[in-house]
Amino acid sequence: MRELYGRPHPDPREVVRRIVAALDPETREHMKAPAVVTCLGVLLEGSRLVSEMGMINALASLGVGSEPAAVQMAAGLRGRAEGLIAAAEQASRFGDLALEAVGTTAMAIATLHDAGAELLGVPLSVAEANFAGFHREGRHAELAGSFLRHDLDRAFRHFISRDLADFIGGEGVPTVGHASRLEDAAARVCREDLVGLDLARWRGEVAQAASAPPRVWPAMLGPALSAGMDSALDVLGGAG
């Protein structure tokens, strides 16, 4: 990595590939921590709640307001995940990153069919249809894949920002702005290269988890998240 960060214009896809190659087994396991599973469970549960009771009631049950719906849903789901993680004493660094991913995943869902939409301008009815659709249409595995993309976005930002400080001012990363743009580009690789991530094998488990109590999520969702994470890292590392 040192040699790559020292080059002019380091290639973000190569940065991602080399980070994957450098991950040790312990770090890979930490990336699948119970808190990460809880964050996935909260998103699945949230889709079910919106499907069953509508967006306004779902937001009320999460203890947040109704407007703007996209931002409030992201905040409510993150708050729900934070509470469950604290109660179960699951806190971890990768859990913190997964909490960030809950918010970014929720906001991406709200604008699912309009990539250019402004978050503050997404009508409540549109956000409701987008969130509810995953549960009503049985697209739970798709929702899990979306969360994994955003979770790895946050994880690779973390890996890069952690290591890049020593290289700012050099030929490869001359300014803080260059470092920020490299993080953004690498995160975009994670989101875009994993669009086709297939979790269909786990469709049953993730669908059942949407209606299951949080205490069973580790057993029900843990294997699915673990397999999905391994597949995603294979893709990003060039082996998938």
| pLDDT of 7 above 80 | no
Taking each helix axis as running N to C, give the angle between helix 12-22 and helix 217-237, from 0 to 180 degrees, rounded to the nearest 10. 120
Element housing 235 (H / E)? helix 217-237
User: Residue 228: what pLDDT?
Assistant: 96
Give φ, ψ of 7 to 5 degrees: -80, 150
User: Residue 207: what pLDDT?
Assistant: 95
* Residues 21-45, mean pLDDT to the nearest whole number: 97
User: Residue 172: what pLDDT?
Assistant: 72
User: Residue 184: what pLDDT?
Assistant: 94
Contact 102, 39 (CB under 8 A): yes
**Which residues lie closer than 8 Å to 12 by C-beta, 6 or more apart?**
182, 185, 186, 188, 189
| Mean pLDDT of all residues belonging to the chain | 92
Instruction: Give the whole-angstrom CA distance, residue 216 versus residue 229.
Output: 20
**DSSP 3-state of 168:** strand
Instruction: Give the whole-angstrom CA distance, residue 15 versus residue 209.
Output: 35
Partnered with residue 173 across adjacent β-strands are 168
Q: What is the pLDDT of residues 69-120, one digit of tens each?
A: 999 999 999 999 999 999 999 999 999 999 999 999 999 998 875 655 576 7
Instruction: Give the whole-angstrom CA distance, residue 88 versus residue 182.
Output: 36
User: Residue 235: what pLDDT?
Assistant: 96
Residue among 90, 83, 89 nearest 32 (CA): 90
